Chains A and B, each alone.
Chain A
Amino acid sequence: MTDTAVNTSQMQISDEVAISIQNMNKWYGTFHVLRDIDLTVQRGERIVICGPSGSGKSTLIRCINALEEHQQGSISVDGTLLSSDLKNIDKIRSEVGMCFQHFNLFPHLTILENCTLAPIWVRKTPKKEAEETAMYFLEKVKIPDQANKYPGQLSGGQQQRVAIARSLCMRPRIMLFDEPTSALDPEMIKEVLDTMIQLAEEGMTMLCVTHEMGFARQVANRVIFMDAGQIVEQNAPEPFFTNPQNERTQLFLSQILGH
């Protein structure tokens, strides 16, 4: 495991900025969920965001592809500034892939149709080409033989891998993961994490909200700890886990690593 950790941490991270968040604030009604978020993500970075529930970590990554609206500050993705302009939002969404806790596959479409839908309708890819791409990524997540089944016929781990393949079919430059393994049985977590590790090794820019600390140590080059809507601490995984500075980080880590 340490071998892989060394490998991935030496992977190239370019100087190019993939995501730039400046002074971002968000409220739900009067509740201040995200406070003065400043975050710059370089291309090729793999960031794990952790923190107690309600700390705003999911909200943060959901702001990046405008599933949530922020009220102050700026977010730009690949140089496109996120505003209320629907064209910009659609452009950013088609560049940024997202995986959800509950997979959110389309239950009325087959696995293959789930994967080809967005390329065909958003990218205007010819159907045949979209299907070839879909099969390529389904092979990559190791479930090409399920292509003609419906999501309801697959296990949770398989569904989540399909969800990853579905995002990859849009050839995103950035992937967001919102607790991708939290809804899975223990024996299925590994197959999903393996897929994510593989993705990381290929240099995908990734932001993962997860409690899988093993994954964070192995894959991340930066770990961000959030609490009460603020970024409390961020560091490379090794110092983050062995020598956390902030009291709240220490408490959180002792709670999740303690058992």
Chain B
Amino acid sequence: MAQDHSTAFVRTQEIPPAPPPPGETGAVHWIKTNLISSVPNAIATAVGIYVVYWLLSGLIPWIVNGTWVTNNIRECREVLAGSGGGCFSVLTERYAQMLFGFEYPSEFYWRPSLAFALLFFAVPPALFPMYLPRWMLIGTGLYPFVAFWLIWGGTILTPIGALVGVMVGYYAFTKLDKYGFAAALGGGVVGAWVVWQAFGMIAGGMPGFIALDAVESRNMGGFMLNMILGVVCVSLSIPLGIVLALGRQSTMPLIKIVCVVFIEFVRGVPLITLLFVANVVLAYFFPPDSNIDLILRVIIMITMFSAAYIAEVIRGGLAALPTGQYEAADSLGLNYAQAMRLIILPQALKISIPGIVNVAVGLFKDTTLVSVISMFDLVGMIRGPILSSTDWAGVYWETWAFACILFFVVCFGISKYSQWLEGQLRTDRH
């Protein structure tokens, strides 16, 4: 139908939708536009395919021809006889050491394993609050105490005392809140401390009361140690980072200075020096007879370190909020704590998610640095007891690949979770 543009036109018939011409959709079309659209593109595709082939042609025989049953590397070499397979026997023979360290009593492996399994019940209510009922958070709250008891053992009075102390401290905090934040915080800390001292004496008096066999911190090792440090330090450093970020913004000069000095000092020092401090120097600051656990000292240092980074990430999120948000919260009569909790932090934290995850993933991997202060985490185990044993000296690829896979699974999981969370929190979609 020819249209004459000089005259008016009124459509009388709808044009029915027609299928696209052949070759515009489907696999062939996709290959044409994405893989061989031009000569350079075609060359790049060919090179890419070759690289993938080259990698797989090495990797697949390594895995498929590998042996899992020999007792040491010499037997491995005999069995493999130049087939290019991997000597995975080191994993079957030493996996328990890689996971739990070489001094954790093997008859108690079930305890950290159970603690690990419980992690999958404790963490989801905090990570997926929109899908799970709120009461499940009780499990999340109890988890640290249960996990501590399972992994370290000893009388159940110790974790119960710790839990009661936290609850008393929190109760004092809420009751004293009306006298100001400082009073509430001080009251809470004192309350918790008193309970802890009392329970410490009771637990010291009857160490056998519903007790699991105690395992000392120096016997912890393997990937378990990385997980303990990673989970504890991430979950402690985020709240501490928030406090530091808010403190840095404070109008009270003393609080501001303390926070700025702390952040700048910790960020300006390599983590490894802080770990050496934890290992050696920190003992000088405690009373001579006090025996502060090495893992606890390391946790303090790693937490301080990542909290300083997280504080700066959150400061960026706070700075990105328009001042109008503070003014709107103020003009509605919200007090400082309410404004922060309900208005400012939810938005600032949302902006900060990628940065916080970056720090969390980095922190988790940095837990391997404890191997240099002679703690036998996964890296320490591989580098020390395994690779320097006469049985397995020289099995580098298989052991380090295993370590990589363990870390990758956890870090990739964190990364995927954060992407999902960002999607959930988007509110600007139409």
**Given the known A-B contacts A67-B330, A94-B332, A108-B425, are A102 and B322 also in contact in the complex, defined by CB atoms under 8 Å?**
yes
Answer yes or no: B350 CB below 8 A from chain A CBs.
yes
Q: Min CB distance, B339 to chain A, in Å?
A: 10
Answer yes or no: B343 CB below 8 A from chain A CBs.
yes
B325 with A150: CB separation less than 8 A: no
Answer yes or no: B56 CB below 8 A from chain A CBs.
no
Q: How far is the CA of A90 from the CA of B330 in the complex (A)?
A: 8
B427 with A65: CB separation less than 8 A: no
A122 with B338: CB separation less than 8 A: yes
Answer yes or no: B141 CB below 8 A from chain A CBs.
no
A118 with B427: CB separation less than 8 A: no
B331 with A93: CB separation less than 8 A: yes
Answer yes or no: A31 CB below 8 A from chain B CBs.
no
User: In chain B, what residue has the closest Cβ to A97?
Assistant: B331
Contact with B along A96-108 (1 / 0, CB 8 A): 1110101011111
User: In chain A, what residue has the closest Cβ to B327?
Assistant: A67
For chain B, residues 312 to 343, give those with C-beta under 8 angstroms from any C-beta of chain A.
322, 324-325, 327-328, 330-335, 338, 342-343
B322 with A94: CB separation less than 8 A: no
Answer yes or no: B11 CB below 8 A from chain A CBs.
no
Inside 8 A of A153's CB, which chain B residues have their CB?
428-430
A104 with B425: CB separation less than 8 A: no
B324 with A100: CB separation less than 8 A: yes
Answer yes or no: B347 CB below 8 A from chain A CBs.
yes
B347 with A122: CB separation less than 8 A: no
Q: How far is the CA of A102 from the CA of B350 in the complex (A)?
A: 21
Inside 8 A of A100's CB, which chain B residues have their CB?
324, 327-328, 331
Inside 8 A of B342's CB, which chain A residues have their CB?
117, 121
B427 with A122: CB separation less than 8 A: no
Inside 8 A of A97's CB, which chain B residues have their CB?
331
User: In chain B, what residue has the closest Cβ to A98?
Assistant: B331
Inside 8 A of A167's CB, which chain B residues have their CB?
331-332
B324 with A170: CB separation less than 8 A: no
Inside 8 A of A166's CB, which chain B residues have their CB?
332
Contact with B along A63-90 (1 / 0, CB 8 A): 0011100000000000000000010001
**Given the known A-B contacts A106-B343, A108-B347, A121-B342, are A93 and B330 also in contact in the complex, defined by CB atoms under 8 Å?**
yes
Q: Min CB distance, B383 to chain A, in Å?
A: 46
For chain B, residues 387 to 430, give those with C-beta under 8 angstroms from any C-beta of chain A.
425, 427-430
**Given the known A-B contacts A90-B333, A150-B427, are A108 and B346 also in contact in the complex, defined by CB atoms under 8 Å?**
yes
A117 with B333: CB separation less than 8 A: no
Q: How far is the CA of A153 from the CA of B426 in the complex (A)?
A: 12
**Is chain B's interface secondary structure helix, strand, loop, or mixed overall?**
helix
Inside 8 A of A122's CB, which chain B residues have their CB?
332-334, 338
Listed residue (B325, B332, B343) with the most chain A CB atoms within 10 angstroms of its CB: B332
Answer yes or no: A239 CB below 8 A from chain B CBs.
no
Answer yes or no: A126 CB below 8 A from chain B CBs.
no
Answer yes or no: A54 CB below 8 A from chain B CBs.
no
User: In chain B, what residue has the closest Cβ to A96?
Assistant: B331
B330 with A150: CB separation less than 8 A: no
**Given the known A-B contacts A117-B342, A121-B338, A150-B427, are A104 and B325 also in contact in the complex, defined by CB atoms under 8 Å?**
yes
**Given the known A-B contacts A150-B428, A152-B427, are A94 and B333 also in contact in the complex, defined by CB atoms under 8 Å?**
yes
Q: How far is the CA of A151 from the CA of B324 in the complex (A)?
A: 14
Q: How far is the CA of A152 from the CA of B427 in the complex (A)?
A: 7
B332 with A67: CB separation less than 8 A: no
B332 with A93: CB separation less than 8 A: yes
**Given the known A-B contacts A90-B335, A118-B332, are A104 and B350 also in contact in the complex, defined by CB atoms under 8 Å?**
no
Q: Min CB distance, A40 to chain B, in Å?
A: 22
Q: How far is the CA of A65 from the CA of B324 in the complex (A)?
A: 14
B334 with A106: CB separation less than 8 A: no
B427 with A102: CB separation less than 8 A: no
Inside 8 A of B334's CB, which chain A residues have their CB?
117-118, 121-122
Q: Min CB distance, A194 to chain B, in Å?
A: 23
Pairs A–B under 8 Å by Cβ, sample size 26: A66-B330, A67-B330, A93-B330, A93-B332, A98-B331, A100-B324, A100-B327, A100-B331, A102-B324, A104-B322, A104-B324, A104-B327, A104-B328, A105-B328, A106-B343, A106-B347, A108-B425, A108-B427, A117-B342, A117-B343, A122-B334, A150-B428, A152-B428, A152-B429, A153-B428, A153-B430
Top 6 nearest A-B pairs by Cβ distance? A94-B333, A104-B328, A152-B428, A104-B324, A118-B332, A150-B427
- Give residues in A with beta carbon < 8 Å to B: 65-67, 86, 90-91, 93-94, 96-98, 100, 102, 104-108, 117-118, 121-122, 150-153, 166-167, 170
